[in-house]
């Protein structure tokens, strides 16, 4: 037994933990949990916890359906919302096959595998997301259009205080769970908030994003409200994204930094960015995986649907933040298309693989785009070599299906399952009569 495992056992004993929740993530990025009692913890470390994979989307295969959840002792945290008299803790798990090999359907193992191949090239990969979300009075779609908390018609001041208070409580809880928050503020839209996490290594960050989404929703629920990361819940106002800052380190050195370059970008940064741009269309089905994701990308402000990069241009897909003198450590690029309904393990895997491909193949970075791409026509954009991202989930799936990079990065199992699952979602959507159609056609025809 490792020291980390001993430590967890000891903590569980000392703190009188009654329940240990084993967390893992399905292919679509939804958090799953199996609870065990402390008495079972030692054997969970030694042998894993066997469960039926078919019960969970993406974890199902025709034959041999049982898998093993192996708790990662380094992720043990006591849950700050557990009642004082009944403390409980959680650990993220890696999922193995019964023969001990990593299970192909486990997103966390997929990210581990991709980080390992970066490591073999000498790189460690860091990510920092800016999570946007809305607070609504309810999450029940049968009640009609969602009601933001701070556009209620009376007690405006009081109700807007409610959402700021929710955000504050959320931040305290995240910090108590060892998830440092860099900034947080009220976003543009009514009842829309943003929480920016401080960078950390990508596997930890993917775990953190899973925890963040749960904590945000949990705190909202305590106050009888509802929080959502749905990319575009309201017409006419900006949707929610999860802009993500990326950087690549080689030991102590930020490989993206080069003081002598006019943009402060190293050759590595240029090639990595070029890789992300070249493969952006292929990975969009994963970074923006809902039918609804493309409603956010269709609007014309914070969500850039054009494959281009720039330092200060909100219409570009990749932003290269301008740094203060001497801040070589903070060299990074920001990927702006991705939204909050993502599976962070898969999204980070693909962003990393696309960037590394740029490095290994020596891709050339196109020129910076300084025009406002929203003001150009399709033809004008094509003339300057700027392609649009896929305009719908359907188109994104078509592009992904042809992508060797996506298949290799995700592995055949998840690649094929994902396409199948999302094709079905698209087919359902196509057959569904939307309020748009009723409003527009019913009175006329």
Partner 1 sequence: MDALIVFPEPAPPELAQALDMGGWVWKSAVDIDSARREEPAEGWMGAVIVAGDDPDDAFRFCRAIRSGDINVESVLLLINGGHLASLDFRENLFDDFCLHPFHPVEFEARLKHLFRRAGRAARAEVIEYGPLAMNLETYQAVIEAKPLDLTYMEYELLKFLASHPGRVFTRETLLSRVWGYDYYGGARTVDVHVRRLRAKLGEEHANLIQTVRSVGYSFGTSRWV
Task: State which of positions 196-235 bind partner 1 (CB under 8 A).
Answer: 198-201, 204
Which one among 51, 76, 92, 229 touches partner 1, defined by CB under 8 A? 76
Contact status: 74 vs partner 1 (CB under 8 A): yes
How near is the Cβ of 141 to partner 1 at its closest, in Å?
36
Question: Which C-beta is closer to partner 1: that of 2 or that of 301?
Answer: 2
Contact status: 324 vs partner 1 (CB under 8 A): no
- Helix H, strand E, coil C: the string for the chain is CCHHHHHHHHHHHHCCCCEEEEEEECCCCCEEEEEECHHHHHHHHHHCEEEEHHHCCCCCCCCCCEEEEEECHHHCEECCCCCCCCCEEEEEEEEEECCCCECCCCHHHHHHHHHHHHHHCCCEEEEEEEEEEEEECCCCHHHCCCCEHHHCCCCHHHHHHHHHHHHHHHHHHHHHCCCCEEEEEECCCCCEEEEEECCEEHHHHHHHHHHHHHHHHHHHHHCCCEEECCCCCCCCCCCCECCEEEEEEECCEECCECCCCCCCECHHHHHHHHHHHHHHHHHHHHHCCCCCHHHHHCCCCCCCCEECEECCCCCCCEECCCCCCCCHHHCCEEECCCECCCCHHHHHHHHHHHHHHHHHHCCCCCCCCCCCHHHCCHHHHHHCCCEECCCCHHHHHHHHHCCHHHHHHHHHHHHHHHHHHHHHHHHHHHCCCCHHHHHHHCCCC
Stretch that binds partner 1, among 3-11, 29-37, 40-48, 96-104 (CB under 8 A): 3-11
Which one among 138, 180, 378, 412 touches partner 1, defined by CB under 8 A? 180
Task: State which of positions 245-274 bind partner 1 (CB under 8 A).
Answer: 249, 251-252
Contact status: 327 vs partner 1 (CB under 8 A): no
Site size toward partner 1 (CB under 8 A) is 33
Stretch that binds partner 1, among 194-202, 290-298, 366-374, 419-427 (CB under 8 A): 194-202
Task: State which of positions 80-99 bind partner 1 (CB under 8 A).
Answer: 80
How near is the Cβ of 10 to partner 1 at its closest, in Å?
5
Which one among 95, 166, 179, 350 touches partner 1, defined by CB under 8 A? 179
How near is the Cβ of 178 to partner 1 at its closest, in Å?
4
Binding positions for partner 1, rule: CB under 8 A: 3-4, 7-8, 10-11, 14-15, 73-78, 80, 119, 124, 126, 174-176, 178-181, 198-201, 204, 249, 251-252
């Amino acid at each position: 037994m490792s020291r980390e495992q001993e430590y967890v056992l000891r903590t569980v004993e000392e703190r009188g933990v009654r329940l240990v929740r084993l967390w893992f993530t399905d292919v679509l990025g939804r958090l799953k949990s199996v609870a065990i009692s402390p008495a079972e913890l030692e054997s969970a470390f030694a042998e894993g916890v066997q469960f039926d994979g078919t019960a969970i989307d993406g974890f199902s295969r025709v034959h041999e359906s049982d898998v093993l959840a192996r708790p990662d002792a380094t992720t043990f945290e006591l849950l700050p919302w557990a009642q004082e008299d009944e403390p409980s803790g959680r650990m993220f798990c890696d999922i193995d096959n019964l023969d001990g090999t990593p299970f192909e359907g486990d997103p966390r193992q997929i990210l581990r595998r991709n980080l390992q191949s970066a490591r073999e090239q000498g790189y460690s990969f860091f990510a920092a997301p800016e999570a946007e979300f809305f607070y609504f009075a309810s999450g029940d779609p049968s009640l009609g259009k969602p009601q933001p908390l701070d556009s209620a018609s009376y007690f405006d001041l009081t109700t807007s205080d409610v959402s700021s208070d929710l955000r504050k409580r959320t931040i305290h809880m995240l910090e108590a769970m060892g998830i440092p928050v860099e900034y947080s503020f009220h976003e543009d839209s009514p009842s829309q908030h943003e929480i920016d996490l401080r960078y950390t290594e990508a596997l930890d960050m993917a775990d953190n994003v899973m925890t963040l989404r749960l904590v945000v929703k949990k705190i909202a629920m305590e106050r009888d409200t509802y929080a959502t990361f749905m990319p575009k819940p309201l017409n006419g106002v900006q949707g929610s994204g999860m802009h993500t800052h990326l950087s690549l380190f080689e030991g102590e050195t930020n490989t993206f930094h080069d003081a002598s370059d006019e943009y402060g970008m190293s050759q590595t940064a240029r090639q990595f960015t070029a890789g992300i741009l070249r493969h952006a269309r292929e990975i969009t089905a994963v970074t923006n995986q809902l039918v609804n994701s493309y409603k956010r990308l269709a609007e014309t402000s914070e969500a850039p649907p054009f494959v281009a990069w720039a330092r200060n241009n909100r219409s570009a897909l990749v932003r290269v933040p301008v740094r203060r003198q001497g801040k070589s450590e903070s060299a990074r690029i920001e990927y702006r298309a991705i939204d909050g309904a993502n599976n962070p393990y898969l999204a980070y895997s693909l962003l990393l693989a696309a960037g590394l491909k740029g490095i290994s193949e020596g891709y050339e970075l196109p020129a910076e785009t300084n025009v406002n791409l929203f003001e150009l026509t399709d033809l004008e954009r094509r003339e300057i070599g700027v392609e649009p991202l896929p305009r719908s989930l359907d188109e994104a799936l078509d592009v992904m299906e042809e992508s060797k990079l996506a298949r290799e990065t995700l592995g055949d199992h998840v690649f094929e399952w994902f396409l199948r699952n999302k094709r079905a979602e698209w087919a359902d959507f196509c057959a569904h009569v939307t309020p748009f159609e009723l409003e527009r056609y019913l009175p006329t025809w």
